[in-house]
Structure 1
Amino acid sequence: MRILNHTAVVDSLFISRILGEPEKYIGDNTVETPTLSELRETMNQNDFWLVQYVESASEQELKRVVSFKFVDGDTGQLSVEEILIHLLTHGSNHRGMASRTLAINSLERPKDTFTRYLHQAEPSRRTGASI
């Protein structure tokens, strides 16, 4: 839960930075661990926003440079495109860590791979394949 909460918090921080809005968090995780339903809601909201944003972002918007302060106080600059790549790799890394933790404890791991997403989003990829 802490690993996934960290991912949700970082997503939220960078969404705020893209929007130029005040950040909701002062660290890269929260003091209190949210409930599973609270975490799911935050992750769903972030995911929905990111998908909607990417679907409508122009090439110019993706190249826009965002200046910000990391939660440790250091300053940084990334293009929107770089922020989105960071969120993808950061989230994938931590979801993998969470999945590994489940496996170590003999618990079922979610089927949340990129290939699974593509086949759910575009079912024709399953039926159109010739082997």
Structure 2
Amino acid sequence: MSAQTLLNSLFQYKASIDNELLDALNGLGEEARSEAVSSALRVLNHAHLVDRIFAANLQRQPHSYAASWSSEVPPLAQLASDIRETDRWYIDFTSRLMPEQLEEVVDFTFTDGGRGRMSREEMLAHVVTHAGYHRGEVGRLLPDIESTAMRDVFAGYLHRTEPARRQQD
């Protein structure tokens, strides 16, 4: 399997589990809104901002983010729409990258003003692992959605989306 194929699969997995998590949060309803839910939304917004920052970095484009955290969190419906749009962007982006583009080193500036240098492959790996870390954090904040958090494993995703992988010779 090529790095491009693996990364595209990881971003399809990310989009799938993000979708499940967002649906679970939406299913909590307005009456379940609590400090824990507000904290979870702040965490998801942070992960989303980092996704957007690195999307710009991957394309060598400037972005307008001065920080990777925001005190203002959009409502869940808007945040969910934004996350899903960004997930689609990453799936499309990783589906068309050539090996030499993955290996290309890109210079960028972190939101704190520090300089950074990573290959696109490294940046994409960062985005996937960073998002997974924060989805786990949300699962710890909101035990009501634990069943969704427990499904957040790549092997489980592969077997759900490709049931033939469960078949034995």
Same fold by TM-score, threshold 0.5 exceeded? yes
- 2:72 and 2:123 map into 1 onto residues whose CA distance is 26
Gaps of 5+ in 1: none
Percent sequence identity over aligned pairs: 35
Residue in structure 1 matched with residue 135 of structure 2 by the alignment: 95
1:18, 1:80 within 8 Å by CA — same for their partners in 2?
A: yes
- 2:83 and 2:163 map into 1 onto residues whose CA distance is 24
SS of structure 1 residue aligned to 2:65: coil
RMSD over aligned Cα atoms: 1.6
Q: Does 1:29 align with 2:65?
A: no
Residue in structure 2 matched with residue 130 of structure 1 by the alignment: 168
- 1:117 and 1:54 map into 2 onto residues whose CA distance is 18
SS of structure 1 residue aligned to 2:142: helix
Cα deviations across residues 106-125 of structure 1 (Å, max 9, x unaligned)?
x1222333233223432322
- 2:84 and 2:45 map into 1 onto residues whose CA distance is 12
Q: Does 1:20 align with 2:57?
A: no
Runs of 4+ in 1 over 6 A off after TM superposition: none
1:118 to 158, 162, 166: 158
Cα deviations across residues 36-69 of structure 1 (Å, max 9, x unaligned)?
1111111111111111111111100101111111
Of the two structures, which has the highest relative contact order with CA contacts closer than 8 Å and spacing of 6 or more?
2
1:108 to 145, 158, 163: 145
1:64 to 66, 81, 104: 104
Gaps of 5+ in 2: 1-40
Residue in structure 1 matched with residue 124 of structure 2 by the alignment: 84
Q: TM-score, normalised by structure 2?
A: 0.69
Q: Residues 24 and 116 from structure 1, CA distance in 2 versus in 1: closer, same or farther, beyond 3 angstroms?
A: farther
Cα offset, 1:26, TM superposition: 1.4
SS of structure 1 residue aligned to 2:116: strand
Structure number with higher helix proportion = 2
Cα deviations across residues 76-109 of structure 1 (Å, max 9, x unaligned)?
1000000011111111111111111112xxx122
